[in-house]
């Protein structure tokens, strides 16, 4: 008996020493196959600020910066992502808790009642009859009698499954990287909220400018209508020309009526994104023409920096690590599992007689091992499925890199093209403005008719509207560059964990 106890003790000690060593988890390393270029093809001409973490500061619009700051603090999309991260972090702590031992204390108390009547031909009766010394509380058992007893017990139990081959550590790693993936969801939500607030803000400002142009156009067409009606009354033009100008005037008025609704819809979207009630939200009028004073495209951006900054790519990197850990955990199912259990329990029984109380203590220590021999292919199928999920995650990671690289260069190229378009439209705008001014002067000095001056003014207003559309398109493409580069998010208070790329 002593020899068996010694063997159990030595085995337990060996397992304890081995398990106390920090298990690393049998992580399966995977890397991306996408070659990362050193630079973007279409970003070389960019001359803007390299700072894109808070890119809205480059627009020098205090109200825009204030709205984005409010959105990053109050957006429900971000708060939902933060709540999901808390859940993932709790799951991660749960997985880590499984690495250590489990212990507990239990107890019970109770009262029992019964009656005792020894059989005349029983051994207990013979024993009591032949006892020379009376037994307190027992010799009375010649006759039937009731007995009341109270009992109490308390016990301590502990169990531990040492992580010899790193399966539990792999499970903890998988939960950790899953939580890091949820952290990237927060960053992605921040990026999108900032971008969407800016989109609606710029669209609202564009709608305001279109309202001004539409009001000018209505005034011009109203003046034109009076002129054509006067000429019609004089018999110089037909009724078709009157109807034509009235049709244009009605169309301009109809357009004017929808521009306010468009502007207000963008304002309500900003309210929702900043966590405010849309009803009663007021977007102040612009103090400056933000579309005419846009910053340049950000310079100094590189593909390696893109991999470090894009939240979606970082999330895919976390997913690969999580699936790699799950594969390692699945493979560990092929290896033996050890367990250490301890049980200690003591108790006391009290009788309502003169018999002595019963009390005592017992303990049990056991060491176990479980070796899989036949599982009907369950473990192998689980490993195969875990490997397939890992390979899928790696393919999704590579795909996201290729898409991101393409998005950045496409955004830069389109922004450059819109830069050229804006420059050409600006030249046309200046020419049309001068032509309209000259035509008005020629009319006033009697060198040409009013319709020529009004035609020049209408053409100028049309170019004005084209200019606003082009400026808004350029501004939105600049926002696309920021988004494609992964700008617009800041580390949260949860963690500043940085996941390097898998390349």
Confidence check: pLDDT of 145 > 70: no
pLDDT for 353-394, tens place per residue?
A: 555 666 777 777 788 888 888 888 898 998 999 999 999 999
Q: φ and ψ at 218, to 5 degrees?
A: -65, -40
Confidence of residue 309 (pLDDT cuts 50, 70, 90): very high
CATH of 52-99+166-290+302-333+379-485, one of 3.30.70.20, 3.90.600.10, 1.20.1600.10, 3.20.20.70: 1.20.1600.10
pLDDT for 228-243, tens place per residue?
A: 999 899 988 899 999 9
Please enumerate in sequence order all residues whose Cβ is within 8 A of that of 350, keeping only pairs 6 or more positions apart, or say none. 149, 150, 151, 357
Q: φ and ψ at 242, to 5 degrees?
A: -65, -45
Report how far residue 202's alpha carbon sits from residue 179's, in angstroms, rounded to the nearest whole number.
Answer: 35
The reported pLDDT for the residue numbered 352 is 64
Question: Which percentage of the chain shows pLDDT scores above 90?
Answer: 56
Q: How many CA atoms lie within 13 A of 194 on its CB side?
A: 26
pLDDT for 245-284, tens place per residue?
A: 999 999 999 989 899 999 999 999 999 999 999 999 999 9
pLDDT for 27-52, tens place per residue?
A: 445 678 899 999 999 998 899 999 99
Confidence of residue 201 (pLDDT cuts 50, 70, 90): very high
pLDDT for 323-363, tens place per residue?
A: 999 998 888 888 888 888 877 777 776 766 555 666 777 77
Taking residue 8's Cβ as centre, other Cβ atoms within 10 Å add up to 13
Question: Which percentage of the chain shows pLDDT scores above 70?
Answer: 82
The SS3 of residue 472 is helix
The reported pLDDT for the residue numbered 463 is 96
Q: What average pLDDT does this structure show over 306-329? A: 92
Tell me, letter by letter, the H, E, C secondary structure of 139-200.
HHHHCCEEEEEEEEEEEEEEEECCCCCCHHHHHHHHHHHHHHHHHHHHHHHHHHHHHHHHHH
Answer whether 425's CB lies under 8 Å from 466's CB: yes
Q: Tokens standing for 5?
A: 């106890």
Report how far residue 87's alpha carbon sits from residue 105's, in angstroms, rounded to the nearest whole number.
Answer: 29
Confidence of residue 465 (pLDDT cuts 50, 70, 90): very high
Report how far residue 342's alpha carbon sits from residue 102's, in angstroms, rounded to the nearest whole number.
Answer: 10
Q: Which has more confidence, 434 or 130?
A: 434
The SS3 of residue 11 is helix
Confidence of residue 127 (pLDDT cuts 50, 70, 90): low
pLDDT for 70-111, tens place per residue?
A: 999 999 999 999 899 889 888 888 888 888 888 888 778 878
pLDDT for 489-498, tens place per residue?
A: 987 655 444 4
Confidence check: pLDDT of 19 > 50: no
The reported pLDDT for the residue numbered 26 is 42
Q: Which has more confidence, 6 or 338?
A: 338
The reported pLDDT for the residue numbered 500 is 47
Answer whether 43's CB lies under 8 Å from 411's CB: no
Answer whether 197's CB lies under 8 Å from 69's CB: no
């Amino acid at each position: 008996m002593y020899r068996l106890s010694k063997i159990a003790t030595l085995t337990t000690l060996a397992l304890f020493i081995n398990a106390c060593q920090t298990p690393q988890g049998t992580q399966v390393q995977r890397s991306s196959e996408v070659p990362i270029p050193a630079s973007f093809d279409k970003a070389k001409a960019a001359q803007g600020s390299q700072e894109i973490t808070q890119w809205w500061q480059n627009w020098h619009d205090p109200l825009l910066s204030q709205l984005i700051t409010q959105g990053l603090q109050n957006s429900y999309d971000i708060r939902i992502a933060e709540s999901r991260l808390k859940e993932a972090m709790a799951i991660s702590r749960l997985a880590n808790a499984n690495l250590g031992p489990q212990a507990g204390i239990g107890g019970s108390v109770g009262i029992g009642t019964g009656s005792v009547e020894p059989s005349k031909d029983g051994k207990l009766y013979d024993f009591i009859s032949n006892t020379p010394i009376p037994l307190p509380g027992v010799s009375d058992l010649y006759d039937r009698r009731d007995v009341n007893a109270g009992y109490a017990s308390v016990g301590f139990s502990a169990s531990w499954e040492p992580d010899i081959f790193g399966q539990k550590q792999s499970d903890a790693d998988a939960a950790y990287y899953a939580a890091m993936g949820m952290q990237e969801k927060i960053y992605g939500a921040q990026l999108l909220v900032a971008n969407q607030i800016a989109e609606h803000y710029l669209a609202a400002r564009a709608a305001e400018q279109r309202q001004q142009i539409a009001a000018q156009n209505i005034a011009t067409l109203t003046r034109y209508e009076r002129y054509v009606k006067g000429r019609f009354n004089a018999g110089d033009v037909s009724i078709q020309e009157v109807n034509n100008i009235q049709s244009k005037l009605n169309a301009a008025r109809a357009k004017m009526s929808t521009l306010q609704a468009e502007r207000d819809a963008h304002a309500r979207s900003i309210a929702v994104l900043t966590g405010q009630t849309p009803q009663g939200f007021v977007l102040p009028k612009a103090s400056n023409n933000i579309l005419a004073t846009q910053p340049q495209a950000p310079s100094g951006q590189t593909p390696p920096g893109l991999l470090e900054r894009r939240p979606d790519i970082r999330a895919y990197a976390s997913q690969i690590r999580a699936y790699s850990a799950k594969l390692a955990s699945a493979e560990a199912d092929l290896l033996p599992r050890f367990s250490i259990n301890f049980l200690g329990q003591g108790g006391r029984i009290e009788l309502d007689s003169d018999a002595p109380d019963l009390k005592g203590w017992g303990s049990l220590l056991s060491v176990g091992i479980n070796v899989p021999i036949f599982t009907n292919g369950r473990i192998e199928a689980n490993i195969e499925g875990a490997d397939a999920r890992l390979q899928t995650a790696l393919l999704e990671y590579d795909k996201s890199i290729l898409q991101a690289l393409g998005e950045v260069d496409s955004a830069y190229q389109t922004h450059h093209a819109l830069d050229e378009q804006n420059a050409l439209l600006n030249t046309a705008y200046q020419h049309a403005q001068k032509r309209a001014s000259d035509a008005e002067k020629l009319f006033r000095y009697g060198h040409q008719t009013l319709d020529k001056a009004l035609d020049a003014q209408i053409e100028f207003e049309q170019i004005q509207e084209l200019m606003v559309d082009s400026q808004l398109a350029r501004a939105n493409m600049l926002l696309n560059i920021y988004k494609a580069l992964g700008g617009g998010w800041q580390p949260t208070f949860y963690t500043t964990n940085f996941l390097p790329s898998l390349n």
